[in-house]
Structure 1
Amino acid sequence: MAEHPTAEALLERSHRLGADPRNTNYAGGNTSAKGTATDPVTGTDVELMWVKGSGGDLGTLDAGGLAALRLDRLRALAAVYPGVEREDEMIAAFDYCLHGKGGAAPSIDTAMHGLVDAAHVDHLHPDSGIALACAADGQALTKECFGDRVVWVPWRRPGFQLGLDIAAVKKAHPEALGCVLGGHGITAWGATSEECERNSLHIIRTAEAFLAERGRPEPFGPVLDGYEPLPDAERLARAAALAPAIRGLASTDRPQVGHFTDSDEVLDFLSRAGHPRLAALGTSCPDHFLRTKIRPLVLDLPAGAGTAEAIARLKELHTSYREEYGAYYERHADAHSPAMRGADPAIVLVPGVGMFSFGKDKQTARVAGEFYVNAINVMRGSEAVSSYAPIEESEKFRIEYWELEEAKLRRMPKPKALATRVALVTGAGSGIGRAIAHRLVAEGACVVVADRSAQSAAVVADELGGPDRAVAVTVDVTSEQQIADAFAAAQLAFGGVDLVVNNAGISISKPLLETSAQDWDLQHDIMARGSFLVSREAARTMTAQGLGGDIVYIASKNGVFAGPNNIAYGATKADQAHQVRLLAAELGEHGIRVNGVNPDGVVRGSGIFAGGWGAQRAAVYGVEEERLGEFYAQRTLLKREVLPEHVANAVFALTGGDLSHTTGLHIPVDAGVAAAFLR
């Protein structure tokens, strides 16, 4: 589809516009271009329109994200339009205008592009444009800012009628290069792609300059005493301490992943006297409140309030928020409205600390936070030159619970088994830990890659897809402080932790008389003591969240099998094995399940075996080191070598949902070592 030069040029324009957040927000707005192509059926020329389809993002748009429509058929729809009360029916009619197979589904804004008599159209959501669109006297300010070159269009929900309205404005104002859509955004047009892009940028930059030059210096009011940002280190520590409790509240209806932001815009907004009033007014642009809900939950305590006091107050406010959201739904819902999707906040604001945002995955949570920063910028601009006046609550409801939005949600793929879960895996920089991290991410989890080697952890986190899926932390599991710091990093990155895998370890293979006290202490410090410390920190986080959780120990068949020259390692694995039973008994009341995996020797890809353990065990058994894996396989009932991926499979089996009522279990992953059968 995009081989056509008009479509290629549209993609290039879209990428330039979408690359600058001043122009539009993530996945916000759409662009189009009209041109002529050959009809493969008749061989004659046909007029087409290429337009960004539903759900795409301008900055990353590709050919598959465009819809191609026959312009004659699209414009003919005006003759059969049944009126604004039935305008939603026109979405289905767009399918009859499509040209060829493939491409994206046409979006609700398709009419805006097709009905406007211009070869190229941009519809964008810049903060500066929305600030004028959401100002109490936005129409007068638009006239003052642009004269006759940009026309005001009163608020109307996106749809076919808005397309007709803008087409009429364009026809009535031939001197205009675009319009400001009340409560929404901007639309610009041009005879060429270059002219359209130039007009879009002119509207955005002119509005920015107008707000800066005409606006008052402190639109959010004076700084409130006690609401100033906490110092950096204290602020991050407070955010990490609050995150699990806040995530638990935001996950009352369904589990959510969190994101934390302490940008200057957020901290300044929360320090000012006007923030309670403005936050209560909610967001306005449809792209904003569809992701942020119509308003955030705002902690009404100063920055110096203690963590326990803040959490107690947040719980009270959360109860009120849910009641108010339920009342909002009841005020506006009718017999045809979709069911309420959940009453928890998507945005939680804590003065002096920052913003916590939530979603079905990390990207959704992060983007929700970005949209609320957009909303803050909009409020600042509106308040600088006028007063912020978002669209009516009833109109917000019409969009939030629009059947077309509900249909879009129904088209979403089914969540993966570990979607919304946050995992922390120790020793994840190589071998078994790396394989576990890969499997958990493949099943939808976010993963904190914890390893003593910062470089190894960073490499694995990058393999997993970067910060929306995985973050790297450096942690020596013998250090209580480093473990606490690792969990704090997890809480700042994803809101908390639901799944912990105790995998970090070393192996010392010596006979009893050659095993020193130092060998014994080192082996136990890393694996027995380290697992205990990690599990204790995990329990703190999980109980604060109140969402249950999983702790999995990568133990060993050596915990039940007495092999030669293995006193320190075998005893440590037995310690870990009994920690599983003890913690399963203790943490069950919190919904935390504790289980173990007992592998046999995992040679290939193992950091432990590569670090000398392989050579030691090969010497014990009198085989060449490179044949150790084969040796282990031949002593099993199945004659199969155990690989890191097999251990990862067992971790997923324990945590993926099917064994929801299982705790205190050890799963052998040893290809069948009869001497290690559990009794």
Structure 2
Amino acid sequence: MSHPAAELIARSNRLGSDARNTNYAGGNTSAAGTETDPVTGQDVELLWVKGSGGDLGTLRQEGLAVLRLDRMRALVDVYPGVEREDEMVEAFDYCLHGKGGAAPSIDTAMHGLVDAAHVDHLHPDSGIALATAADGAALTRECFGDRVVWVPWRRPGFQLGLDIAEIKQQNPQAIGCVLGGHGITAWGATSAECEENSLMIIRTAEQFIAARTAELEAQGTHPFGPIRDEYAALPEAERRAKAAALAPVIRGLASTDAPQLGHFTDSEVVLDFLAREKLAPLAELGTSCPDHFLRTKVKPLVVDLPADAPVEEVVARLTELHQAYREDYAAYYERHATPDSPALRGADPAIVLVPGVGMFSFGRTKQTARVAGEFYINAINVMRGAEAISTYTPIEESEKFRIEYWALEEAKLQRMPRPKPLATRVALVTGGASGIGKATAERLAAEGACVVVADLDLGKAQAVAEELGGADVAIGVQTDVTSEAQVQEAIAAAALAFGGVDLVVNNAGLSLSKSLLETTVKDWDLQHEVMARGSFLVAREAARVMIAQGLGGDIIYISSKNSVFAGPNNIAYSATKADQAHQVRLLAAELGEHGIRVNGINPDGVVRGSGIFAGGWGAQRAKVYGVDESELGQYYAGRTLLKKEVLPEHVAAAVFALTGPDLVQTTGLHVPVDSGVAAAFLR
């Protein structure tokens, strides 16, 4: 027989891997069993339960809290009542067995007090649709008979655990319950039985809702009402272009109180909801399940303009709606706050809905921004289901506030790890698939930034992005920096992926080592197009976004010691590097009023890992200096004051120094990273 914890993890992973069963990080599961106490040598009954945080689909052993059931059930005798039920969460710590595992969640009582060896608490869209229907109790009986029992809304906690335990005791035929406004709970004597009961409740609710929806459609109606033609989705190319233009503006507004990262969603379910007659009234009601509104805020900001409204008109209306949203949220806080309530955490929306375009969601990380959007899709599904079978009726606003500003939620926020220095910042690195660019992308991601790896080689750019952590950390885009259109596409990709751009590294480059007489016009034009023109295009398009965001920003030029050092046989390369160096000064002077800092880095030759050197430049320079190409790095090091070779990570470190938290008053600076080349000293 397998261990109860192993069965629990396997069951949890199966349930959590299907979005129909529960939302990301939503719900919790448990298993009870017996083990030998290593202290007494006696058998002891234990409870393994998903701990606070984490996700069922990826749950592992370390994500389980382990408690002694005898001690936990003894808490019933000292329970001080619902007004003081929060005290019981700390009491769970005194019930832990051994090292205890993960921190017990608020729902632990539901699992420990219910008389069943296995318990699942889940947040399926179908179950929450029943739970938020105006006549949910009657509909639950109609759907399930007496096998599933209705439990009126109660905030998660010790008392809810007692309520469910009593309901199970009074209804021995029941396999689970629907929790008003919240979700479902199921139980079983074995792990298999518990899973079967959970799935039966979820699938039966789905079928019940589907049948009612089909009846409506047969009558020519829809749960969300008819489509409003002026709000219908724009064609894909037009829609995404408009989204890319709006994303930085919306991100800037959503970051009024604290910097945010963004995520864009234009899935069919979102676009359909945004086009429907009931969009405004349903959105105003907000979400209901605590997991939903803790991530989406109590309601979204909805743009009330037709899909084809010009971007400038949408931007102007967004500014008005954002101010109104902030005032409304502050009023919500004032209506319900008590002297003991945590301070208002921020009045900006987490979800912004733009008809015809899509949904913009926000969070302190890309993952939380993405998940916020996923939760609002869950909410759309819930509203559709509730409207198909009845009328969508979420929990009261006062109850939402009690959870959003719950002392236990505040404590959970305070336990969050301190953000990394570049958290919430979006970086775009050109030439990011190798050498200095790759090292810079790696360093910026390690310091908390989201990174757009732009490179001529799409495959290599995507490979680097995957190494950095995938879509929640980085994306790879194909970009020829000499192409105005491709540069604009790269910036648009950053806006759609992360909400905008905060930090640009102009690193793309190449070189041909030739004397003046050997240098052709083609040689000259190619190097100036890539480095001078390319840097200009990238800086210009990034500046547009940074100004639209209103969050400031950083533009870094990877120039070269050659911008000030006159070496032989290098006319085209050194001249274009001097062009880049002066762009730094010019843009620092122009963009400072927008809080955009522009700085440069002057490396010596970086041989190791360099695409430029590997592409023939190394052989050419080695020939000029009369050394073997394999010895070029040592040659460069030998002519410096420090006698050390410059590596890609040294340049990346300088990028971080200029864009991190310590040099925020610095702009127009060139930082040498050359181990000390006296001839390149800045004068």
Determine the structure 2 residue equivalent to 1:371. 375
Q: CA deviation at 1:559?
A: 0.2
What secondary structure, in the 3-state scheme, does the structure 2 residue paired with 1:99 have? strand
What is the CA–CA distance in structure 2 between the aligned matches of 1:485 and 1:116, rounded to whole Å? 56
Counterpart among 100, 105, 108 of residue 107 in structure 1? 105
Q: Please name the residue that 1:641 is paired with.
A: 645
Give 2:200's aligned amino acid: H
Deviation per residue, 1:187-216 (Å, 9 max, x gap): 000000000000000000000000010232
Which of 561, 570, 591 is equivalent to 2:595? 591
Query: Contact 1:64–1:102 (CA<8 Å) still a contact in 2?
Result: no
Q: Counterparts of 2:72 and 2:2 in 1: how far apart (Å)?
A: 20
Equivalent residues in 2 for 1:244-643, closer than 5 Å:
244-643=248-647
Q: Post-superposition shift, 1:102?
A: 4.8
Structure 1: distance between partners of 2:663 and 2:2: 52
Q: Which residue of 1 aligns with 2:682?
A: 678
> How big is each residue's C-alpha offset from its partner over 1:7-45, in whole Å with a ceiling of 9 and x where there is no partner?
011000000000000000000000000000000000010
What is the CA-CA distance between 1:657 and the residue it aligns to?
Answer: 1.3
Residues 313-322 or 457-466, more deviating: 457-466
1:96-144 deviation digits (Å, cap 9, x = unpaired): 0000115100000000000000000000000000000000000000000
Query: Hey, what's the Cα distance between the residues in 1 that align with 2:165 and 2:486?
Result: 61
- Does residue 82 of the first structure (1) align with residue 86 of the second (2)? no
Deviations 1:61-112 (A, max 9, x none): 0111000000000000000000000000000000000001151000000000
Output the CA distance in 1 between the equivalents of 2:463 and 2:191.
42
Q: Identity over aligned residues, as a percent?
A: 78
| Aligned-residue offset at 1:611 | 0.3
Equivalent residue in structure 2 for 1:220, among 199, 204, 224: 224
Are 1:49 and 2:53 counterparts?
no
The alpha-carbon deviation at position 467 of structure 1 amounts to: 0.4
Instruction: Select between 455-464 and 186-195 the one with higher mean Cα deviation.
Output: 455-464
Distance 1:9 1:138 in 2: 33
In the alignment, which of 242, 246, 254 is matched to residue 242 of structure 1?
Answer: 246
Secondary structure of 1:432's aligned partner: helix
Rounded to whole Å, the distance in 2 between the matches of 1:572 and 1:5 is 67
Cα distance in 1, alignment partners of residues 108 and 393 from structure 2: 27
Residue of structure 2 equivalent to 1:229: 233
Match of 2:33 among 25, 32, 35: 35
8 Å CA contact 2:67, 2:100 repeated in 1:
no
CA distance in 2, matches of 1:424, 1:94: 46
Q: Which moved more, 1:216-225 or 1:464-473?
A: 216-225
Structure 2 Cα separation of the partners of residues 101 and 115 of structure 1: 22
> How far apart are the structure 2 equivalents of 1:385 and 1:412?
40
Q: Is the 8 A contact 1:244 1:491 kept in 2?
A: yes
Match for 1:117: what amino acid? D
Residue of structure 1 equivalent to 2:170: 172
1:130 to 112, 116, 128: 128
Partners of 2:455 and 2:461 within 8 A in 1: yes
Deviations 1:145-176 (A, max 9, x none): 00000000000000000000000000000000
**Letter matched to residue 371 of structure 1:** F
Letter in 1 for 2:23: N
Contact 1:425/1:448, CA 8 A, preserved across alignment: yes
**Deviation digits for residues 300-349 of structure 1 (CA, Å, limit 9, x no counterpart):** 00101010000100110000000000000000001100001000000000
RMSD: 0.7
Query: Is the contact between residue 4 and residue 31 of structure 2 (CA under 8 Å) also seen in structure 1?
Result: yes
1:145 is matched with 143
SS in 2 for 1:564: coil
Native 8 Å contact 1:123 1:187 kept in 2:
yes
Q: Structure 2 unaligned runs (5+)?
A: none
Q: Distance in 1 between matches of 2:574 and 2:562?
A: 5
Distance 1:40 1:645 in 2: 50
Which whole-Å CA distance do the structure 2 matches of 1:185 and 1:344 have between them? Answer: 27
Letter in 1 for 2:296: T
Q: Which residue of 1 aligns with 2:669?
A: 665
CA contact (8 A) 1:524 1:572 kept: yes
Residue 131 of structure 2 aligns with an amino acid whose one-letter code is: A
What code does the residue aligned with 2:190 have? T
Please give the alpha-carbon distance, in whole angstroms, between the structure 2 residues aligned to 1:254 and 1:233.
Answer: 31
Distance 1:183 1:416 in 2: 37
- CA shift, 1:225, in A, is 2.3
- CA shift for structure 1 position 554: 0.2
What TM-score do you get using the length of structure 1 for normalisation?
0.99
Gapped runs of 5+ residues in structure 1? none
Across the two proteins, how many residue pairs are aligned to each other?
677
Q: Deviation string for 1:270-328 (max 9, x for gaps)? A: 10000100000000000000000000000000101010000100110000000000000
- One-letter identity of the residue aligned with 2:437: G
Displacement after TM superposition at 1:56 (Å): 1.2
- Cα offset, 1:4, TM superposition: 7.4
Give distance in 1, aligned partners of 2:167 and 2:192: 22
State the shift of 1:388 in Å.
0.3
Deviation at 1:508, TM superposition (A): 1.1
One-letter amino acid matched to 1:309: E
What is the rounded CA distance, in whole Å, between the counterparts of 1:327 and 1:458 in structure 2?
A: 46
Q: Which residue matches 2:58?
A: 60
User: Whole-Å Cα distance in 1 between the matches of residues 647 and 18 of structure 2?
Assistant: 46
